[in-house]
Chain A
């Protein structure tokens, strides 16, 4: 069965610093990969997704992610973090034949220091 690992439970960065959130997946074929963000008291909002093609994908709010097949990774990055980026970030995977079912990681809580 497919699985998603987000090794960092909590990350703290200073405002203006760069950010990288790690995500590794376990699945035999090419997965469909997603990053969602959840602000306190809110639902999940899609930041970006990858299916095929260019392995560097751009999302909303200045985020990007890079798919690396050799490392089974889909890390999320942002060059300069804003205080409003403080939230929980979830990586998720879906696969052909699985319909629209998403398997989520446990999430990374991002704190931004001013």
Chain B
């Protein structure tokens, strides 16, 4: 079992649908992240949660709504998405604190918006 598990691995949704991505970490970390990976663009940090509190929202549109019920689980709720939102969404976790803490990534959820 990997340290950071994401489900589903693949998701196709229409622009009027509502869906959610789920992430679970088994590493005892207290910080969790959502990154977006689009073709030919650097990974973009979307949200950061430390001890279940959101500490970073990198100007993400409100059609993406994160939820962190505890330090082990992170969700990304999706609604009324656009085709340009199609991408690989990566969840990650680390110990909260300094920049030297290693960030561990899940395998990602491939999202296609049709």
Contact = CB atoms under 8 A, between A and B. Distances in A.
Interface residues of B, number: 29
Nearest to B6: A43
B61 interface: no
Contacts of B40: 106
B55 interface: yes
Given A49-B102, A51-B100, A100 B43 contact: no
A43 B43 CA distance: 12
Contacts of A51: 100
Interface in A77-96: 90, 94-96
B42 A45 contact: no
A95 B99 CA distance: 6
Nearest to B56: A101
Greatest chain B CB density within 10 A among A43, A51, A103 is at: A43
B66 interface: no
A44 interface: yes
A70 interface: no
A99 B48 contact: yes
B112 to A, nearest CB: 15
Contacts of B85: none
Contacts of A94: 99-100
Nearest to B90: A43
A32 B100 contact: yes
A42 interface: yes
Contacts of B55: 99
Interface of A: 4, 32, 36, 41-46, 49, 51, 90, 94-96, 98-107
5 contacts: A43-B90, A51-B100, A94-B100, A100-B33, A100-B103
